[in-house]
């Protein structure tokens, strides 16, 4: 990315004293216009992102239970508490488990859908829309469908009805007696986001120059061999982007966990990814511990910023191309 | 997409379409479930075997949904509509202006502002919800419309997209406008924006869908039931003592409807937006 916007006018003009005066006036007027255009956005970022985050860094060094103007400096205690706190570490572990389950499955499914739809000769537009449609659904509605109908633990749940039809016992999917709640959570997100990433892969597929295929066809490559040796290598940049977006997305999981698992205002002790943990600790019922919540935010921000930096670093060369 | 490459081969093509057909049924299944549940009677939803289609599909649940005073469903729909439309229009306006300023107005500050944007891009605002909530609550904006809308207006993602777009915009058009005596603002609104309809629509569509479907922020802000968005209202059902499933799904069906319309009408813009969101 080139940072400074290039001066479009008057760059290559010969400079006399009058011109210099005019250019100084222009610089001043440019400055005013820069802030007319960027001012609202910058003000918003400062007020709702930068000041809160810096304030949060400040709060993280204090005992800030139920207050935002704490007085008791506790140094790194909040961080020490979190990094030795079982619940916090388990929530990070829950993210890792979730990422390990959701990242490869979404990646494989969305790539598979893209490859299937891409060359479909019949009703391709319909299939593409059918796979993309869940993107328009909210996690809340999806969670209701998954929890109350498809994976309902009672015998009238859709999957349980299917299990009973083949002579198996119904399963209490969300009870936490076993790890089957992961099936519910992973299938939900898989359904909701596969179409989104399919669209990214389709865009990647369209960028592959046609003559690459023609050359391969001349060499006698067909079917799977073309996919394996031409398509997949050409999709490398897209694939890396998708993997990182998936990981960053999994890190922010909240809506579907909350809505499939919370009942009568209480959240079960299992399946608490970082944001759910943070929500329950800092803003959930009972005491609001903003010191610990802030320290948690700082830690999560660092983790996600590392993922984001990795993504920008890998994607940077592509930007100049576009 | 008409990509006819390689020779047509019968067998694999049939398999491909059968697989596609089955998968699309699977992907549409949850939508069918919503509709089935919305039209079913409460008894049918808990019957011992799966009822594929209600014996007497009716809109009775719709009437009960809007009559239920504990839920204030109509109010939550209105809240969602107001919040989503405001958020969409204002996000596009704020980001288009900022993107244009970054791309076209030379300033020593542009490096700083771009750096702030990219940094924000790296840290999704969802992760920093605790500090933003603390800020908004000390402004006294809990359970207010501005609390729902204003803090989420400043999208680094949208600004970055606009900046990329305007950087590649042909300068000649603007120079012609300048020769005609148009100032910066006039050039922006009369020359640049009318030619940026595509990206405005793409950013707007994505913003609208996200705003309508958003949950965590409205959950934090809408503590007073009168300020619940439709997603928060639906979620509140599940944590209430007795869940009227048929009614919940009628609510879900109603909540999906606007985004379905947007999806169908603006699918092309949405696809363009998504394509830009990953790799651009």
pLDDT in tens, B36-62: 999 988 888 877 778 888 888 888 888
| Interchain contact, B239 vs A262, CB within 8 Å | yes
Task: Round to whole Å and give the CA distance between A250 and A197.
Answer: 14
Closest CA to B185 of B269, B101, B106, B81: B101
* Least Cα separation, residue B144 to chain A (angstroms): 16
A5 in contact with B, Cβ within 8 Å = yes
- Chain B residues close to A6, C-beta within 8 Å: 106
pLDDT of residue A211: 81
Chain B nearest CA to A19, separation (Å): 17
User: Is the pLDDT reported for residue B276 higher than 60?
Assistant: yes
Residues in chain A closer than 8 A to B130 (CB atoms):
56, 278, 282-283, 290, 293-294, 296-297
Length of chain B: 280
Between A221 and B192, where is the model more confident? B192
Helix/strand/coil for B252: helix
B46 in A contact zone (CB under 8 Å): yes
pLDDT over 90 at B83, yes or no: yes
At B230, is the pLDDT very low, low, confident or very high (cuts 50, 70, 90)?
very high
- State the average pLDDT for chain B: 87
Q: Does the pLDDT value for residue A101 go beyond 60? A: yes
Tell me which chain A residue has its CA closest to the CA of residue B250: A141
Residues of B in contact with A133 (CB under 8 A): 27-28, 31, 263
Q: At A240, is the pLDDT very low, low, confident or very high (cuts 50, 70, 90)? A: confident
How many Å apart are CA A230 and CA A88, to the nearest integer?
44
A238 touches chain B (CB under 8 A): yes
CB contact under 8 A, B131 and A297: yes
Q: Is the alpha carbon torsion for A235, B265, B247, A254 positive or negative? A: positive
Given a cut of 70, whether residue A19 has pLDDT beyond it is no
Give residue B23's pLDDT.
95
Mean pLDDT over each residue of chain A, to the nearest integer = 84
pLDDT at A289: 79
Give the pLDDT confidence score for residue B63 in this predicted structure. Answer: 87
Confidence of residue B239 (pLDDT cuts 50, 70, 90): low
Please tell me which residue of chain B has the smallest CA distance to A238.
Answer: B279
Model pLDDT, residue B232 = 94
Q: How far apart are CA B180 and CA A220, in angstroms?
A: 60
Mean pLDDT within A130-158: 91
B101 at A interface, C-beta within 8 A: yes
Question: pLDDT tens digits for A268-289?
Answer: 888 999 999 999 888 766 667 7
CB contact under 8 A, B30 and A191: yes
Residues of B in contact with A135 (CB under 8 A): 209, 263, 270, 274
Contacts of residue A210, defined as CB under 8 A and 6 or more positions apart, other chains included, come to B5
Buried b (16+ CB within 10 A) or exposed e, B55-88: eeeeebbbeebbeeeebbbeebbebbeebbebbb
- How far is it, in rounded angstroms, from Cα A34 to Cα A195? 39
A148/chain B closest Cα distance in angstroms: 7
Domain A85-321 coded CATH 1.10.3720.10: yes
Q: Is the pLDDT of residue A8 over 80?
A: no
Nearest-Å Rg of the Cα atoms of chain A is 26
Q: What's the rounded mean pLDDT across residues A238-267?
A: 89
B243 torsion bin: left (phi>0), alpha (psi -120 to 50), beta (else): beta
> What pLDDT shows up at residue B10?
65
Q: Which two tokens stand for residue A81?
A: 């508490």
Summarize the confidence of residues B115-143 as an average pLDDT: 88
pLDDT given for residue B95 in this prediction: 96
3-state class of A289 per DSSP? strand
User: Is A276 touching B (CB cutoff 8 A)?
Assistant: no
What number is the average pLDDT over the span A135-155?
Answer: 91
Nearest chain A residue to B229, by CA? A140
Average pLDDT value for residue range A99-118: 95
Percent of chain B whose pLDDT exceeds 70: 94
Which range is least confidently modeled, A265-279, B12-26, B148-162, B238-252? B238-252
B5 pLDDT higher than 70: no
A321 pLDDT more than 70? no
Q: A88-102, B172-186, B235-249 — which one is most confidently predicted on average?
A: A88-102
Write out the DSSP string of B156-196.
HHHHHHHHHHHHTS-HHHHHHHHHTT--HHHIIIIIIGGGG
DSSP letter at A322 equals: -
In this complex, which of A33, A38, A51 lies closest to B184 when CB atoms are compared?
A: A33
B91 in reach of chain A (CB within 8 A):
no
Instruction: Say what the pLDDT of residue A228 is.
Output: 81
Chain B nearest C-alpha distance from A155 (Å): 7
How far apart (Å, rounded) are the C-alpha atoms in residues B268 and B224? 38
Any idea where the domains of chain A sit in the sequence?
85-321
Indicate whether A218 pLDDT > 80.
Answer: no
pLDDT for residue A293 is more than 90: no
Complete domains list, chain B, with CATH: 12-46+54-58 (no CATH), 67-278 (1.10.3720.10)
User: Is residue A12's pLDDT more than 70?
Assistant: no
Task: Examine the pLDDT at A233 and tell me if it is beyond 70.
Answer: yes
CA distance B170 to chain A (A): 11
B256 interaction partners in chain A (CB closer than 8 Å): 136-138, 141
**CB burial readout A23-46, b (16+ within 10 A) else e:** beebeeebeebbbebbbbbbebbe
Closest residue on chain A to B133 (Cα): A52
Decide if pLDDT at A7 tops 90. no
Which tokens hold the place of A18? 């009058």
Average pLDDT over residues A52-66: 87
Question: Which of B6, B150, B271 lies at the smallest CB-CB distance from A222?
Answer: B6
* Token duo for residue A36: 């007319």
B20/A contact by beta carbon, under 8 A = yes
Q: Is the pLDDT of residue A314 over 80?
A: no
| Residues of B with Cβ-Cβ distance to A241 under 8 angstroms | 278-279
Q: What is the mean pLDDT of residues A90-96?
A: 94
Interacting residues of A19 by C-beta distance below 8 A, sequence separation 6+: A10, A13
- Average the pLDDT over each of A263-267, B217-221, B248-252 and give the range with the smallest value: A263-267
- Does A127 reach chain B within 8 Å, measured CB to CB? yes
User: Can you give the pLDDT at residue B84?
Assistant: 96
């Amino acid at each position: 990315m080139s940072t400074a916007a290039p001066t479009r006018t008057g760059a290559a003009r010969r400079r006399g004293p009058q011109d210099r005066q005019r250019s100084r006036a222009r610089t001043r007027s440019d400055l005013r216009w820069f802030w007319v255009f960027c001012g609202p956005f910058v003000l918003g970022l400062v007020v709702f992102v930068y000041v809160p985050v810096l304030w949060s860094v400040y709060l993280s060094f204090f005992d800030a239970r139920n207050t935002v103007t704490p007085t008791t400096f506790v140094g790194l205690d909040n961080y020490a508490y979190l990094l030795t706190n079982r619940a916090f570490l388990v929530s990070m572990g829950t993210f890792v488990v979730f990422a390990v389950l959701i990242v490869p499955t979404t990646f494989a499914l969305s790539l598979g859908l893209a490859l299937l739809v891409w060359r479909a000769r019949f009703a391709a537009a319909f299939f593409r829309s059918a796979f993309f449609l869940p993107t328009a659904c909210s996690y809340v509605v999806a969670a209701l469908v998954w929890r109350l109908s498809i994976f309902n633990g009672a015998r009238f749940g859709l999957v349980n009805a299917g299990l009973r039809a083949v002579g198996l016992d119904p399963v209490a999917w969300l009870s936490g007696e076993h790890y089957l709640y992961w099936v519910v959570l992973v299938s939900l997100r898989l359904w909701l986001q596969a179409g989104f990433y399919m669209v990214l892969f389709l865009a990647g597929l369209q960028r592959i120059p046609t003559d690459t295929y023609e050359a391969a066809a001349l060499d006698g490559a067909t079917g799977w061999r073309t996919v394996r040796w031409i398509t997949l290598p050409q999709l490398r940049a897209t694939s890396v982007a998708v993997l990182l977006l998936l990981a960053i997305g999994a890190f922010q999981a909240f809506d579907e966990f909350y809505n499939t698992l919370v009942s009568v205002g209480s959240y079960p002790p299992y399946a608490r990814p970082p944001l759910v943990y943070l929500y329950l600790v800092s803003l959930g019922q009972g005491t609001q511990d903003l010191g610990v919540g802030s320290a948690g935010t700082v830690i999560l921000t660092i983790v996600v910023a590392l993922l984001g930096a990795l993504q920008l670093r890998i994607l940077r060369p592509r930007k100049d191309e576009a | 997409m008409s990509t006819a490459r390689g020779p047509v081969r019968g067998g694999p093509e049939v398999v491909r379409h059968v697989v596609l057909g089955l998968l699309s049924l699977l992907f549409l299944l949850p939508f069918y479930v919503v509709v089935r549940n919305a039209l079913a009677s409460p008894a049918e939803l808990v019957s011992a075997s799966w009822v594929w289609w209600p014996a007497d599909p009716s809109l009775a649940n719709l009437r009960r949904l809007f009559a239920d005073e504990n839920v204030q469903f109509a109010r939550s729909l209105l809240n969602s509509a107001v919040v989503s439309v405001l958020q969409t229009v204002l996000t596009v306006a704020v980001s288009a202006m900022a993107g244009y300023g970054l791309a076209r107005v030379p300033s020593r500050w542009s490096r700083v502002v771009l750096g702030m944007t990219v940094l924000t891009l790296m840290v999704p605002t969802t992760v920093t919800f605790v500090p933003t909530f603390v800020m908004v609550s000390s402004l006294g904006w809990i359970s207010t419309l501005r609390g729902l809308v204003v803090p989420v207006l400043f999208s680094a993602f949208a600004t970055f997209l606009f900046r990329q777009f305007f950087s590649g915009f042909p300068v000649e058009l603007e120079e012609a406008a300048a020769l005609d005596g148009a100032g910066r603002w006039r050039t922006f609104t009369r020359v640049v924006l009318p030619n940026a309809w595509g990206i405005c629509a793409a950013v707007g569509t994505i913003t609208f869908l996200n705003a309508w479907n958003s949950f965590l922020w409205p959950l934090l802000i809408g503590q007073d039931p009168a300020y619940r968005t439709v997603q928060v209202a639906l979620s509140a059902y599940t944590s209430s003592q007795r869940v009227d499933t048929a009614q919940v799904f009628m609510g879900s069906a109603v909540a999906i409807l606007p985004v379905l319309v947007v999806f169908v009408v603006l699918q092309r813009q949405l696809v363009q937006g998504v394509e830009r969101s990953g790799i651009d």
